[in-house]
A and B are shown apart, each in its own frame.
Chain A
C-alpha cells in the first residue's frame, strides 16, 4: 500500500477524482505477468507506473555459475520469440573476446536464422496485436504461417522455440539437407500470404481508427528512454544495429532500414509489416549463396575468456539486445548483464499512453511487442 500512497502524494496535490487501477499481473493483454499501476481519471490515463519482476528468474546470476557454452541455453528463455538472436549475441561476444574468426558458412546460416526468427516473431506479434484489439481471426492466420518457420527450425535445430543453435565458434549442427528447399518454399508461399495480412487488419477501418494518432512518441523521448527496434524507428530514431554495427553476414546484404517520423501506434504497426518484407528480401539474397565449409570452428573443451570486459549487441525482433560480459579469466563469467530491448521500451509507455483512453493503452502496449521474460529475465 505504501507505494500507492507515495504516488498520490508525489503528484502535485491529492486528487480526489483520480484513482489507481492495477492492470495485471493477471491480465490477458499484458501477455504475461506484467503489472501496470495506472492512475486514471474516468477513462483517461494520467500516469503509468510499470512494476516488473513477477517472473524474475535470475538468469544473470545463474550465468555466473556455469560455463560460456552453457550460458547460451539460458538466453533462449529470456526473449523466447527471438531466441536465436539472443544465442548469437552471446556466441559473438565470446568469439570476439577470444578473437576467433568463424567460417563464412556460419555467418550465412546465422543471418538466415536471425531473419527467420524475426519473421516468426513478427508473425506472432501481428496475430496477437489483432487479438488484443478484438480481431481473433488474425490470431489463427498468423500462427498458421508461423508454423512453417517453426518446422524449419525443428528440422535443422532440433527444437521449435528454445533453439540453442549458435555456439561459440559456430552452430550446433550443419543445416539440414532440406533446409534451403523448405526456406525457399516458405518465402514463396509467405509472399502470397503477407498481402492477406494487410487486407485482414491493416486496411480495416476499425483498426485504423483505434491506432492512428494514438500513442505518440517523439524522437527526443525515444532517444531519452532508449526505445529501440521498430518502436524506436517509428519515431524516426535510426537505431538498427544491423546497419550501424553490422555483424555476421549483414554487411554483405542489401536491405533498407525502415524509418518513419510519425511516431504513432499505426506507424509502429506498419514498420513491423514492412520489416517482414525486408527480412524475406535478406533471406532471398543469402539462401542460394551459402558457401561450403565447416559449420563450426574447433574450440577448446573448456572455453576461457581473457580478463576484461566485452560487449556485443545484436538486433533482436524488438530492438537492441546487448550482452556485457566481465571475465576474470576463469571458465565462468564474473558478471553477465543483458541489455534487453523490452525493458527500455516498456518504460516509455508512460510517455506514449498518458492522455489516452485505457482501451488505447492495450493497443499501444501491443505495438511495443513486450515479452515479459525479456523484461524480467
Chain B
C-alpha cells in the first residue's frame, strides 16, 4: 500500500514539476516582445554592427582617391598567418629623391583570423577593421583582395 502511495505521489510530483516548467515557456509564448532574435536577411537595411566589430580589413580612401599607407610593411610583420602581402615600388618625389610607396596591398581574407594586430600596429592608421560580415563568395580567388584602389596615391604629409 505504501509503495503504491509513493508511486502515485511521484506521478503527481512529476506532473507538478512539468507544469512549473510549462508555466515559464507559456509566459514567453504570450509575451513575444521578450524575444532577442533578429529577422536577419529581412533587416539587412537597418542592421548596424558595432563600431569595433571586426569583419574585414579595409583601407579607407578619401574622395581624391588618397590613402594613408606608406608601404612600410609593419602590418605584414605583425600578421600571424601571412594574410597580408605588401608589394612596394620606388617612386620619384618632386625634389628628385627616391621614395618607397605602396604598389599593392594584398589581403587574403580567407586566411585572416580577424585578430586586429595589423590595425593596432599600423603607424599611420591606414588600415581599419570594416563591419561587413557577408563574405561568402562562389570562387575562392575572390577572397584575395587588393586594398588600395587602382590609381590611388598616398595623402600629402603622411610620413613613416
Contacts and interface: CB of A to CB of B under 8 A. Distances in A.
Tell me whether A and B are bound partners. Answer: yes
B16 to A, nearest CB: 8
B17 A203 contact: yes
B116 A164 contact: yes
Interface string B44-61: 000001101110000000
Contacts of A147: 36
Contacts of A206: 14
Interface string A139-157: 0010010011001001111
| Interface size classification for chain B | 20 to 34
User: Which of A159, A176, A203 lies at the interface centre, i.e. has the most chain B CB atoms within 10 A of its CB?
Assistant: A159
B120 A204 contact: no
**Which label, helix, strand, loop or mixed, suits the secondary structure of the A interface?**
helix
B116 A158 contact: yes
Contacts of A122: none
B80 A203 contact: no
A159 B54 contact: yes
Interface string A200-220: 110111100000000000000
A257 to B, nearest CB: 30
Contacts of B117: 69-70, 73
Interface stretch (B20-28, B87-95, B100-108, B146-154): B20-28
A204 B21 contact: yes
Contacts of B80: 66, 70, 73-74
B25 A156 contact: no
A204 B53 contact: no
Given A148-B36, A200-B24, A73 B14 contact: no
Contacts of B24: 141, 196, 199-200
A137 B20 CA distance: 13
A249 interface: no
Interface residues of A, number: 30
Interface in A284-326: none
Given A154-B50, A173-B52, A162 B113 contact: yes
A158 B21 contact: no
A52 interface: no
B10 interface: yes
Interface in B109-136: 113-117, 120, 129
Contact of A199 (B20, B52, B115): B20
User: Which of B13, B115, B117 lies at the interface centre, i.e. has the most chain A CB atoms within 10 A of its CB?
Assistant: B115
A141 B17 CA distance: 17
A146 to B, nearest CB: 10
Nearest to B120: A172
Contact of B52 (A70, A73, A155): A155
Contact of A162 (B13, B23, B52, B114): B114
B84 to A, nearest CB: 13
A90 to B, nearest CB: 13
Nearest to B49: A154
Contacts of A201: 21
Contact of A205 (B13, B35, B54): B13
Contacts of B23: 199
B20 to A, nearest CB: 5
A148 to B, nearest CB: 7
Nearest to B38: A147
User: Which of A73, A156, A176 lies at the interface centre, i.e. has the most chain B CB atoms within 10 A of its CB?
Assistant: A73
B127 to A, nearest CB: 14
Contacts of B21: 137, 199-201, 204
A131 B117 CA distance: 38
A333 to B, nearest CB: 13
Nearest to B50: A155
Contacts of B78: 69-70
A73 B115 CA distance: 6
B3 interface: no
Interface in A75-103: none
8 contacts: A70-B80, A70-B115, A73-B113, A147-B36, A155-B50, A155-B52, A156-B52, A162-B115
Interface of B: 10, 13-14, 17-18, 20-21, 23-25, 35-36, 49-50, 52-54, 78, 80, 113-117, 120, 129
Given A141-B24, A205-B17, 10 more contacts: A73-B117, A137-B25, A144-B36, A154-B50, A155-B52, A157-B52, A162-B113, A162-B115, A204-B18, A204-B21
